[in-house]
Amino acid sequence: MKDRLFLSSPHMSDEGYEMEYIKEAFDTNWIAPLGENVNQFEIELSNKVGSKAAAALSSGTAAIHLALKATGVEEGDIVFCPTLTFSATVNPVIYQKAIPVFIDSDYETWNMCPKALEDAFEKYPEVKAVIVVHLYGISADMDKIMEICNRHKVAVIEDAAESLGTYYKGRHTGTFGDYGIFSFNGNKIITTSGGGMLVSNNEERIAKTRFWATQSRDQARHYQHSELGFNYRMSNVVAGIGRGQLKVLDQRVEKKNYILDFYKRELCELDGVEFMPSNEWDKPNYWLSSMTLNGSVRPIDVMEALEKENIESRPIWKPMHLQPFFEKYDFVGTDVSEKLFENGICLPSDTKLTDEDLERVVEIIKGLWER
């Protein structure tokens, strides 16, 4: 059996930056709960994306949860979410006992459709917050979305879990809304093994989220708690990994773009193949190279052929409004997200892939059209 080719696995720096910071944590005995790595990771990430403040947390999901709490989302409130996303975008809405309403995608970005968003506001003018996702590292059409949300005076949370390193019109995704969130899960463009970050220009609210994330412990000699708290803070060891990974982010974005260009060059002439969108105002990180198949060869054919050769791939996200747990909630739009799910596939996008590995992938795929 040939070596396994992964969709997107952890990729530590060749220079060993991560181990330097981990060693520092061990040498100073700042293993947990916090420490200088956490403090510096927050500062370095903020500086990288151009945000005033950040809170290092245990996951991107925790970051979305605290962003919703910071915007005042409570039981019974309505929150607009894209339907084409991972469930972690929506689960925190349920944590707050709020009501998600799912918004369709458009083909131009694969992200939240501004027209469907407008329609949703007409149907639900009392909405409390809007969560926008930058799917697979492609930015949503933020000018249109922010114009709509600002006109309706609604808070915006950007789920940039998949888009660290992506620019929209020269500005980092995750910095347009009231809050932005990033994920450092093991499959993300950089990883801390598990972790996330909440960013905002509202330094006071970020300080509040740090308080909530540290069990809402009041300033007192004894343990005193006046608010509900959460165990959401990132450990000092994990933050050290993140500091090292942040140093190679630009290299990882460059390699992700190289991988997509390779696939495009080799596969774009195949009947029915279309690749993820590219817009002049977007500089994506292309976290996962994705394409749609609209001919006789179907995504399941490609996935099964790759799996036989020990190569990982997966479908495009299944829309939330089609999920058993979420199907009871309303959906606004047409069938764009459903079509993307039915026809879409994510190809191996691991930044450790060599040209030989990529050739192995494309030759298997090409073989399906030669039968």
Of 224, 246, 268, the last residue of a domain is 246
Q: Are 124 and 78 spatial neighbours (Cβ–Cβ below 8 Å)?
A: yes
Is residue 105 a part of any domain in this protein? yes
Q: Are 94 and 79 spatial neighbours (Cβ–Cβ below 8 Å)?
A: no
At residue 54's C-alpha, the angle toward residues 186 and 251, to 5°, is 45
The span from the CA of 307 to the CA of 298, in Å, is 15
Domain count, the chain: 2
Beta strand 129-133 pairing with 78-82: parallel
- Across the range 311-324, mean pLDDT stands at 98
Distances from the Cα of 295 to the Cα of 211, 268, 271, 368, angstroms? 53, 13, 6, 12
Q: Which helix (H) or strand (E) holds 100?
A: strand 99-103
Sign, CA dihedral 196-252-171-169, equals negative
Q: Is the pLDDT of residue 131 over 90?
A: yes
- Other beta carbons within 10 Å of 304: 12
The span from the CA of 363 to the CA of 279, in Å, is 28
The span from the CA of 103 to the CA of 180, in Å, is 19
Q: Is the pLDDT of residue 368 over 90?
A: yes
Joined together, the tokens standing for residue 307 give: 């799996």
Same domain, 199 and 140: yes
CATH number (domain holding residue 291): 3.90.1150.10
Same domain, 358 and 285: yes
Domain that holds residue 92: 17-246
Q: Is the pLDDT of residue 96 over 90?
A: yes
Same domain, 53 and 92: yes
Same domain, 133 and 232: yes
Closest residue by Cα to residue 80 from 111, 107, 112: 112
Could you tell me how many helices (H) and strands (E) the chain has, helices first? 12, 15
Q: Are 315 and 339 spatial neighbours (Cβ–Cβ below 8 Å)?
A: no
Same domain, 149 and 255: no
The span from the CA of 319 to the CA of 340, in Å, is 9
Q: Kindly indicate the confidence band of residue 90, based on its pLDDT and cuts at 50, 70 and 90.
A: very high
Is residue 275 a part of any domain in this protein? yes
What pLDDT score does 221 carry?
Answer: 87
Same domain, 280 and 165: no
Please tell me whether the peptide bond between 315 and the residue prior to it is cis, using omega within 30 degrees of 0. Answer: no
What pLDDT score does 32 carry?
Answer: 77
The span from the CA of 66 to the CA of 171, in Å, is 24
Of 246, 279, 308, the last residue of a domain is 246
Three-state DSSP at 265 gives helix
CB burial class (10 A; 0-12, 13-18, 19+) of residue 40?
Answer: middle
pLDDT in tens, 183-228: 999 999 999 999 999 999 999 999 999 999 999 998 888 999 999 9
Is residue 303 a part of any domain in this protein? yes
The span from the CA of 229 to the CA of 235, in Å, is 17
Q: Are 295 and 272 spatial neighbours (Cβ–Cβ below 8 Å)?
A: yes
Computed over every residue of the chain, the mean pLDDT equals 97
Say which residues have a Cβ less than 8 Å from residue 255's Cβ, sequence separation at least 6: 351
The span from the CA of 51 to the CA of 172, in Å, is 9
Of 223, 246, 269, the last residue of a domain is 246
- Across the range 268-288, mean pLDDT stands at 96
75-85 burial code (b ≥16 CB/10 A, e <16): eebbbbbbbbb
What pLDDT score does 371 carry?
Answer: 75
